[in-house]
Structure formats: structure tokens, C-alpha cells
Amino acid sequence: MLRSRMNTLPTYLPEDAEAQPPALYPEYRSTGLRAPKQPLVRIPQTLTEVTGPAGDWERLGGPAMADLTRQHRAEPQGQRIILAGRVLDEQGRAVPRTLVEVWQANAAGRYVHARDQWDAPLDPNFTGVGRAVTDEAGRYRFVTVKPGAYPWGNHENAWRPAHIHFSLFGPAFATRLVTQCYFEGDPLIPLDPIAGAVPARARDRMLARFDLSLTQPAWALGYVFDIVLRGRAATPMEA
């Protein structure tokens, strides 16, 4: 059963606004349809913002689904990877027992979604959805396949770089984060308006980096992606 953390009410540092993507970024066309027309109003941190769900995530959502390659009768196509890291708060401390959810395209760059109909194959052995709960040191670990790039209609010959979507609750609703994880060295990143909406000095915070120590010989490449909730070093919110 979930409960709210209400023993002592914390306060959270604001994000570094200059490291977050703007609500309106003309090169990312759909922001023109959803960006606010009036200045935002910052609300105070009250009980609603500084508390959040906590408790037995497995009981709420079922067993962890941290291995996206073992959810069907056979293994999916594509390059197997291990994606792991730590979830940290604004002071660099571990965030334990928090829910981390991911979703992604398959190795051919296609989602299991009715609106994704481009000419790439679906994989009957890959759904592209996973979840895990961080341990006491704030660590998480997923096994999956590296997603493929895919075209989108933002501009002529537009392709999204390989990426994995992340959703985290953290200890309070004020620490809620939805972001994207890219892979270092992808030549499509500098061409992508969604990644480009994030200020250059903070863009590296959304990169997963190859890690030989995490790589398992003859089995999977390892990538590290640490996530910071709020504060000046916060991982940018998805544009």
C-alpha cells in the first residue's frame, strides 16, 4: 500500500532555468501548439508538492520488468545493452526505493503503437516497456536492446536519434521527472530539435556513456546514465 512521506516536510531547490528546454522552441514545431501564451507563475512548495507516493511499488505495479529482453517467448532482435546508473537528489545523495519507468522503440526504430506506421518491422518479442525500483544506494539497472532511429514529421528528412524515455517520481511530486536518454556519439543528436531545445551546457546530462566495466563479454554492451532530480545539476526535463 502506498503512503505519503509526511514526517518532515523538505523544501527543494529550484531547477536551473537556463539548463532546461524552453516551453517554446520554434525548431521543434509542436511546441508552438502547446507552449503557454502567458508567463508562468511559480507556486510555493506546499504539502502537495513536497510529499509523494512511497511504499511497495512491486505490490502496486507488479514485479519489476527490468529485463526488456525476457518478456516474451524469445529474445528480441538487436544489440543487447545494459543501461544502469544512479538516481540522485539535488545534493548528490542517493534516492532509494523510487520508481523508474522506461519506454522505447525497438532495434528497427519502431514503437508498438497504433500511430507508428512507418516502414520498419515490429518485433513480436519486444514491447519496449520496463520498470525498476532503485536500491538503497539509488541504483537501477535495465537490460534491453539499443533502439533504432526513426523518421518524424517535424521537418524535411527529420530523424530522431536513438533514445530511451525515462519517467521518475522521486520522493515528492516536486521531484517528478520525465526525460530522454541519448547515446554518446550519435550523429543525429546535433540535428535533432528536441535534443537541441536543451541548452548546450546541459545536453550532456541526457547522454548515456559507454562503460567497459558494465559491459559483459560476448553478451551485452554497458552504458551508464545517472539522473539528478532538481537543483542546479538536474537532468533536463523532456522538451
Which positions are catalytic? Answer: 111, 150, 160, 163, 165
Q: Are strands 150-151 and 221-224 parallel, antiparallel or unpaired?
A: unpaired
CA dist., res. 168 & res. 102, Å (int): 9
Phi/psi of residue 178, nearest 5 degrees: -125, 125
What Å distances lie between residue 145 and 81, 185, 201, CA to CA? 5, 17, 28
Task: Name 172's Cβ contacts closer than 8 Å, sequence gap at least 6.
Answer: 5, 10, 12, 49, 50, 51, 52
* Bridge partner list, 194: none
| Per-residue cell: 17 | 532555468
In sequence order, which ranges of 42-186 are alpha helices (DSSP H)? 47-50, 57-61
* Bridge partner list, 150: 160
Residue 188 carries which DSSP code? T
Residue 239 carries which DSSP code? -
CA atoms within 13 A on the CB side of 235: 28
